[in-house]
Amino acid sequence: MTTFEARAERPQILQEQEDNERCPTCDAALPRGFRFCGQCGRALAATLAPAPGDLLTIAFIDLEGFTTFASRVEEAEVRELIRAFHALVREQAARHGGFEVKQMGDGFMLAFANPARAVACAADIQRAVARESGDGLSTAIRVSAGLNSGDAIREGDDFFGHTVNVASRIAGRADGGQVLISEATRELVGQLDGLRIVDVGRRRLRGIAPRHRLFEVVWWE
C-alpha cells in the first residue's frame, strides 16, 4: 500500500461575497479584489481564474511512471494514489492562489496570475509528494512540472495558445522530481526564498522552434 495520507475530500474553497471584508476562516482583513488570504492562505474560487488579458503563468503537473506503477499493483491502490495526488495538487494550488484549468488523468493544468506563486506551488507539490511517499513509492512515482508565462487565449475556464503549448512541451522535457520553467517565467520571478533557479541551457521542444532556454527550480534541501 502507498503511504500517501488519505485525502478523499477536495479542500474547501471559500466563495467571495461582495461585502466580505474579512476572511471567514481566520478573520484577517481582506482588501477588495483579493485572490487569497495573506494570513491563512485560503483561496477564494471566485477570483482564482485570471481575467482575459492577464499575464498568465501556466503550469503542467504530471505523474511520471504512473502507467508502470498501475500495472503492478491492485486497482484499489491505484485509486488511493490518484485520489491522494489530486487532493494534494488542489490543496497546494488553492494555497498559492492558482486556478485549476483542467485535470487530465494523472496530471493537471493550472493557471496563475502571479508567476512567483506558480513556481512556489510547483516546488511545494514536489516537497509534499516527497514527504508523503514511502516504501519505495518515491522512486516508482515522481512528479514532473513545466511552467511558462505570457498571454493566452481564454474560452470559458480554459486557456489556449502558444504560452500554453510551450508550458506543455516544457513539462514533457522534465524528469520525475524536476520543475522546469521558461526564460519568460525566470525573468518574472526574481529570487525566491528557499529555492535555487539553475540555467540548464537551450533545449529543443517538440514541434516548437527555435530552441528554448530552460531553468530548473531546485526545491530539495
Distance separating alpha carbons of residues 213 and 171, to the nearest angstrom: 14
Higher pLDDT, 75 or 3: 75
Among left, alpha and beta (phi > 0; psi -120 to 50; other), residue 77 is: alpha
Cβ partners under 8 Å of residue 128, min gap 6:
88, 92
Number of Cβ within a 10 Å radius of residue 205 = 21
Q: Model confidence at 23, in pLDDT bands (50, 70, 90)?
A: low
Between 138 and 148, whose confidence is greater? Answer: 148
pLDDT tens readout for residues 85-114: 888 899 999 999 999 999 987 899 999 999
Residues 6+ apart with CB under 8 A from 203: 173, 211, 212, 213, 214
Q: Each residue of 31-67: pLDDT tens digit?
A: 444 445 555 555 444 344 565 566 899 999 998 877 7
**13, 137, 12: which is closest to 85 by C-alpha?**
137
Say which residue, 92 or 219, is predicted with more confidence.
92
- pLDDT tens for 143-197 read 999 999 999 888 887 899 999 999 999 999 998 889 999 999 999 998 888 899 9
- What is the CATH architecture of 45-218? 2-Layer Sandwich (3.30)
Q: Which residue has the higher pLDDT, 178 or 26?
A: 178
Closest CA to 185 of 146, 140, 130, 147: 147
Q: What is the mean pLDDT of the chain?
A: 78
The whole-number pLDDT of residue 25 equals 59
**208 vs 30, which has greater pLDDT?**
208
